[in-house]
Amino acid sequence: MSEKPPQISTSRRRFLKSTLVGSGSILTGLAAIDAFAKDPAPVDFKFVVISDTHFGHPGDIKRFYRALPFVKREKADFILHTGDVVNDHVSNKGELRAAKRALRRVPKPFYVIPGNHDVGWSDDRHLLEIWSKTFGPTEISFTHKGWTFVGLNTTALTERTKNKSEEDRIFAWLEIQAPAFPKGRTIFFYHMPNYKLPVNWSWLPDWSESAKRR
């Protein structure tokens, strides 16, 4: 679930080229997590990763409620959701209500960032506004026991998005935040991968090209 990084540079280019990534999947499994660490002193804490709940897709709500007891049993310090909360964008009021109702049962603290099923490719300002009003900012950063966790809306960073102003805003935010990241103790979580997949899945674009441009 986690890897270990070198010291993070305040240079966006060097910083982004140093990242590793996993891509979103189901509960507590292959969710999008980057972890950077350079021989840190042992710190005991636990967190759970949830991803791709797709509330609104047939059967997914039932699967979520079946999995919830296992999540609670972990007694984690906090829980991350790495996107695709709903199935048909956050503008679907029925799916959004179902998601809010289900996620209220997730133990706190709980942090969530969007996936493409939530806000598309960040081209629609209306979807981004609904997300922000419902779940909070599309980028988040918090510190826990000496570690900083950074969540990014990577739907805006792939070649599929036409909203390059959103890409610029995210990288500008990241550049401002980066100097405060603790040396060797910063973990990134997001939905879309930043590496080329071995198969050509058009529905799962990466953001490696946007990272190279920075």
The pLDDT tens digits for 35-48 are 444 555 667 999 99
Q: In angstroms, rounded to a whole number, what is the distance separating the alpha carbons of residues 1 and 47?
A: 11
CB atoms within 10 A of CB 140: 17
Q: In angstroms, rounded to a whole number, what is the distance separating the alpha carbons of residues 189 and 83?
A: 10
Q: In angstroms, rounded to a whole number, what is the distance separating the alpha carbons of residues 26 and 30?
A: 7
pTM: 0.78
Q: Is residue 213 part of a domain?
A: no
Strand partners, 110: 79
For 35, the domain range is 12-194
Domain count, the chain: 1
Strand partners, 57: 55
Q: Is residue 177 part of a domain?
A: yes
Widest distance between CA atoms in the chain = 47
Identify the three-state secondary structure at position 81.
strand
CB atoms within 10 A of CB 100: 14
pLDDT (tens place) for every residue of the chain, 214 residues total: 333 333 334 444 444 443 333 333 333 333 344 444 455 566 799 999 999 999 999 999 999 999 999 999 999 999 999 999 999 999 999 999 999 999 999 999 999 999 999 999 999 999 999 999 999 999 999 999 999 999 999 999 988 888 889 999 999 999 999 999 988 899 999 998 876 666 666 666 776 777 666 6
Q: Is residue 4 part of a domain?
A: no
Q: Is residue 178 part of a domain?
A: yes
**Among 72, 73, 82, 77, residue whose Cα is nearest residue 30:** 82
Q: Is residue 89 part of a domain?
A: yes
- We report the CATH number of the domain holding residue 187 as 3.60.21.10
Q: Is residue 2 part of a domain?
A: no
70: buried, middle or exposed (CB in 10 Å: 19+, 13-18, 0-12)? exposed
- Report the chain's terminal Cα–Cα distance, integer Å: 26
Q: What is the pLDDT of residues 95-108, one digit of tens each?
A: 999 999 999 999 99
146 and 183 in contact (C-beta within 8 Å)? no
Q: Is residue 212 part of a domain?
A: no
Q: Is residue 200 part of a domain?
A: no
Task: Label the pairing between strands 186-189 and 47-50.
Answer: unpaired
**Structure token pair of residue 144:** 């826990």
**Among 113, 103, 46, 53, residue whose Cα is nearest residue 78:** 46
